[in-house]
Amino acid sequence: MARAVWRDRIQAARAQRAAQHRVRERRTVTHRDGARCEVDGRWLTNFCGNDYLGLSQHFKVTATLGDVAAREGAGGVASHLVCGHHAAHEALERELADWLGAPRALLFGSGYLANLAVVQALLGDEDVCVQDRLNHASLIDAARLAGCRLRRYPHADAEGAIRQLRSVPDGMAMLATDGVFSMDGDIAPLRELSLASRVQKALMYVDDAHGVGVIGPDGRGSVAAARMGVEQVPLQLATLGKALGGYGAAVVGDADLINHLAETARPYIYTTALPPAQAAASLAAVKLARTEHWRRERLHELAVRLRERTKVHGFKLLPSDTPIQPLVCGDERVAMAMAHALEMQGFWVAAIRPPTVPEGSARLRITLSALHTPADVDALVEALAWARDAVEHGYDAVA
């Protein structure tokens, strides 16, 4: 058999993506101002970001970033276990642990790295990781790289989780789920999954990247919203790059588990620490998220408003009480045309296509921010109605 040529392979793969209308292109943002951003010379109202609480541009956050960078420098210098662990990291870990009601927290460079770390540090060849079928790609990749057996259950199906856990009775077991699902906006049935994990003696891990800051008492996320703590969910992920508006992530939970991660997790040991200035800025954001409850209240009001007004126009959004409000189009060409039509009206809404979502479920992923106004939501709904008519009638504007 002849050896494959890399150039032929990547050209064939791109041709296949083009035939399926799945070529992905980066857009360059020149400037951000509140909920608006300049893209390719045009100002658009952004309804596709994850800055749910609107903290990425808050003056306390940005001022802290600049002040600490001026004093401590721009970089993390080294890994945490060499000489990169700064007092700013320590303060942020303590604040996160206190906020989320856990003994300890451990910082990572990203949520992706954190998920790799948790699964790889705890599971091996003889173990099993049982996951929701719609979990984030990083959890799926983590199980594959750990070499453990990966079992997936139907979305939000606790009984399905039990069946998968029972199917592999030996070895250590982990039940891993998103708290809030990033493409559907719904919340995992955490109490039922917790019961399944206890019955099957599995460690429960919740990736709450899209829940922390947004839902639950004081914005403590989906685990707190389900009235559970470290006993039921020994480990959970909190991202710093979504509701908190910064960059990085933390795993919070049982002290022994966190210590084990700090000493053995390769994505923690063998990478440079977050810049201290970024950690300090995230600490400022956490303090705002804990106290400024009006941001979550506004998000709820905007979500209700969006759902009510889209219903009047005959749209049916997926069930969601979170800032993620998806409108399923089915055909990815329709989703792309709708997104283009919305951009012509001044709105940036991402069209999400397979393989990010299942086949036949391409969608517009509408996301809300505390920076949006009711008028922004009303204008978006009117633009959605126009875009639907434009696509159905084949207007030149969306060709």
Q: Which residue positions form the known binding site?
A: 24, 111-112, 136, 182, 210, 239, 356
Task: Supply the DSSP string of 39-106, one letter for each residue.
Answer: ETTEEEEE-S---TTS-TT-HHHHHHHHHHHHHH-SS--S-IIIII--HHHHHHHHHHHHHHT-SEEE
Task: Supply the DSSP string of 116-154, one letter for each residue.
Answer: HHHHHHH--TT-EEEEETT--HHHHHHHHHHTPEEEEES
Say which residues have a Cβ less than 8 Å from residue 303's Cβ, sequence separation at least 6: 320, 321, 322, 323, 325, 368
| Cis upstream peptide for 355 (omega within 30°) | yes
Say which of 58, 89, 242, 372 is annotated catalytic.
242
Task: Supply the DSSP string of 285-312, one letter for each residue.
Answer: HHHHHHH-THHHHHHHHHHHHHHHHHHH
- Residue 389 C-alpha from the chain's centroid: 32
Bridge partners, 252 (sequence order): 105, 236
Bridge partners, 108 (sequence order): 249
Say which of 80, 86, 210, 372 is annotated catalytic.
210
Please say if 210 is a catalytic residue.
yes
C-alpha span between 3 and 80 (Å, rounded)? 42
Please say if 313 is a catalytic residue.
no
Residue set of the binding site for pyridoxal 5'-phosphate: 111-112, 182, 210, 239
Q: What letter represents residue 80's amino acid?
A: H
Please say if 369 is a catalytic residue.
no
Exposed, middle or buried by CB within 10 Å (0-12, 13-18, 19+), for 209?
A: buried
Helices 255-264 and 111-122, axial angle in degrees (round to 10) = 100
Active-site positions read 182, 210, 242
